[in-house]
A and B are shown apart, each in its own frame.
Chain A
Amino acid sequence: MRLAILGAGPGGYVAAIKAAQLGAQVSVIEDTEVGGTCLNRGCIPTKTLLATTELLHKAKNIEEYGLEISGQIIPNLSKIMERKNKVVSIQVKGIRSLFKSWGINLIEGKGMILGPEKIEVKKKDGSTEIVGADKIIIATGSRPAQLPLFPFDGEHILSSDEALSIKSIPKSLIIIGAGVIGCEFAFIFSELGTDITILEIMPRAISLEDPEISEILERELKKKKIKLMTGIKITEVKGQHDGIHVYLEGGKEFVAEKLLVSVGRALNSDAIGLEAVGVQKGTKGEIVVNEKMETNIGSIYAIGDVTGRLLYAHVASTQGKIAAKNVMGGNEKMDYGVVPYAIFTSPEIAAVGLKENQAIEKGIKVKTGHFQFRAIGKAHVMGEITGFVKFVSDETSDRILGVHIIGPHASDLIHEAAVAIKSGLKTKDIADTIHSHPTLSEAMMEAAEDVHGEAIHVPKK
Chain B
Amino acid sequence: MNPEDLKYHKEHTWAKVSGKKATIGITDYAQSALGDIVYIDLPELDSTVEVNSEIGEIESTKATSSIISPLSGKVIEVNEELTESPEIINEDPYGKGWIAILEIGDAFEMDDLMDASEYEKYVEEEKK
Residues of B within 8 A of A375 (CB): 62-63
Q: Please report whether the interface of chain A is mostly helix, strand, loop or mixed according to DSSP.
A: helix
CB-based contact B57/A219 at 8 Å = yes
Q: How far is the CA of A433 from the CA of B57 in the complex (A)?
A: 34
Shortest beta-carbon distance, B128 to chain A, in Å? 11
Q: How far is the CA of A170 from the CA of B106 in the complex (A)?
A: 48
A385 sits at the interface (CB 8 A):
yes
Q: List 20 A-B contacts (CB under 8 A).
A: A219-B39, A219-B41, A219-B57, A222-B41, A223-B39, A372-B63, A372-B64, A374-B59, A374-B60, A374-B61, A374-B62, A374-B63, A374-B64, A375-B62, A375-B63, A380-B61, A385-B38, A385-B61, A386-B59, A459-B63
* Bound CA span A386–B60, Å: 10
* Across-interface contacts of B60 in A (CB, < 8 A): 374
Q: Nearest A residue to B39 by beta-carbon distance?
A: A223
**When chains A and B are docked, how far (Å) is the Cα of A219 from the Cα of B39?**
10
Chain B residues 20-74 with CB under 8 Å of chain A are 38-39, 41, 57, 59-64
Residues of chain B touching chain A, judged by Cβ–Cβ distance below 8 Å, are: 38-39, 41, 57, 59-64
CB of A251 to closest CB in B, whole Å: 17
Which of A363-381 touch B at CB < 8 Å?
372, 374-375, 380
Which residue numbers of A lie inside 8 Å of B, CB to CB?
219, 222-223, 372, 374-375, 380, 385-386, 459
CA distance A222 to B41 in the complex (A): 8
Chain A residues closer than 8 Å to B63, beta-carbon distance? 372, 374-375, 459
Distance A219 CA – B83 CA, assembled complex (angstroms): 12
Q: Which residues of chain B have C-beta atoms less than 8 A from A380's C-beta?
A: 61
Contacts of A385 in B (CB 8 A): 38, 61
Give the chain A neighbours of B62 by CB distance below 8 A.
374-375
CB nearest neighbor in B for A216: B64
- Chain A nearest CB from B93 CB (Å) reads 20
Contacts of B38 in A (CB 8 A): 385
8 tightest Cβ-Cβ pairs between the two chains A and B:
A219-B41, A374-B61, A223-B39, A374-B62, A385-B61, A222-B41, A380-B61, A374-B63
- On chain A, the residues within 8 Å of B59 by CB distance are 374, 386
Q: How far is the CA of A385 from the CA of B41 in the complex (A)?
A: 16
Residue of B nearest to A223 (CB): B39
Q: Which residue of chain B lies nearest to A379 when distances are taken between CB atoms in the complex?
A: B61
Instruction: Give Cα A375–Cα B38 distance, bound, in whole angstroms.
Output: 14
B61: chain A residues at CB < 8 Å are 374, 380, 385
